[in-house]
Amino acid sequence: MNFLEERIIKDGIVKPGNVLKVDSFLNHQMDIQLMEEIGREFKRRFADKNITKVMTIEASGIGIACFVAKEFGVPMVFAKKSKSVNISGDVYVAEVESFTHKNTNQVIVSKMFLNNDDHLLIIDDFLANGCALKGLIAIANAAGASVEGLGIVIEKGFQDGGRMIREMGYDLESLAIVDAMDAENGTITFRAQEDK
Ligand code: 5GP
């Protein structure tokens, strides 16, 4: 088990509806030493990529993406949830359906902060059905930026997002892949990952 899998076993809580709660160290209270380790691990896994910017989505990706951006020495930009319909033309827009809140948000990135010279590393906390990542990829494509890789802290391997993103040909790295979890007895099963 890697450092993250060990922490999920120790402090993660399986909720009904295929939700894994990691509020004590990742999604609400954040363990900053663990964030640093996550940042270093993504830097190690994407060491051969020429990254110019890290991109994520509001809200829970932001903290993690900061630590990743610090390792690469590049800025971090996050897609903002926007209530007003944006027709001004100065932003890139994507529709993202929220897995946890079961609603659809329009997310935006200002055209000032993304362009066709950018080589992006996209970061998020969870990967479930892949809507958040697909929205971020759509924004990158609209800007003409290249997506060099995608880094996820916890992938739920029993949902479709990971397979879909890999089939699209993207370099997707997940630090922990949960293949099964059981809300009744609290068990979590990880996919074996070869030593990276
Ligand atoms: P997707 O767009 O891939 O369906 O879902 C990813 C987003 O939903 C992530 O940004 C994350 O915030 C949220 N999410 C999905 N599954 C879980 C989960 O099991 N636990 C938590 N805490 N968030 C999740």
Beta bridge partners of 99: none
Residue 87's pLDDT is: 65
- The CATH number linked to 166 is 3.40.50.2020
Between 182 and 103, the higher pLDDT residue: 182
Query: What is the domain range of residue 61?
Result: 3-190
Rounded mean pLDDT of the chain? 95
Answer yes or no: is 196 within a domain.
Answer: no
Q: What percent of the chain has pLDDT over 70?
A: 98
Which residues contact ligand 1 via a Cβ below 6 A?
Answer: 19-22, 27, 60, 99-100, 124-132, 156, 161
Our count of domains for the chain comes to 1
Answer yes or no: is 118 within a domain.
Answer: yes
Residue whose structure tokens are 């998020």:
124
Kind of pairing, strands 13-15 and 19-21? antiparallel
> Does the reported pTM lie above 0.85?
yes
Answer yes or no: is 195 within a domain.
Answer: no
Q: How far apart are CA 159 and CA 180, in angstroms?
A: 10
Q: Calculate mean pLDDT across residues 86-101.
A: 86
- What is the H or E stretch that residue 40 is in? helix 32-45
Per-residue pLDDT reduced to its tens digit, 54-89: 999 999 999 999 999 999 999 999 999 987 776 678
Which atom of ligand 1 approaches the CA of 134 most closely? 2
Residue 117's identity, in one-letter code, is D
Q: Whose CA is nearest to atom 11 of ligand 1?
A: 126
Q: How far apart are CA 31 and CA 22, in angstroms?
A: 11
The structure tokens listed for 42 are 């993504």
Q: How far apart are CA 53 and CA 5, in angstroms?
A: 27
Per-residue pLDDT reduced to its tens digit, 102-139: 889 899 999 999 999 999 999 999 999 999 999 999 99
Reply yes or no: is the peptide bond before residue 59 cis, omega within 30 of 0.
Answer: yes
Ligand 1 pocket: which of 126, 177, 179 to mutate (most atoms within 8 A of CB)? 126
- Report whether pLDDT(194) > 80: no
- Report whether pLDDT(176) > 90: yes
Q: Residue 35 — φ and ψ, nearest 5°?
A: -60, -40
Helices 32-45, 3-11: inter-axial angle, 10-degree rounding = 140
Q: Residue 8 — φ and ψ, nearest 5°?
A: -65, -45
Contact 22, 195 (CB under 8 A): no
Q: How far apart are CA 123 and CA 78, in angstroms?
A: 10
Residue 188's pLDDT is: 98
Beta bridge partners of 108: 80, 93
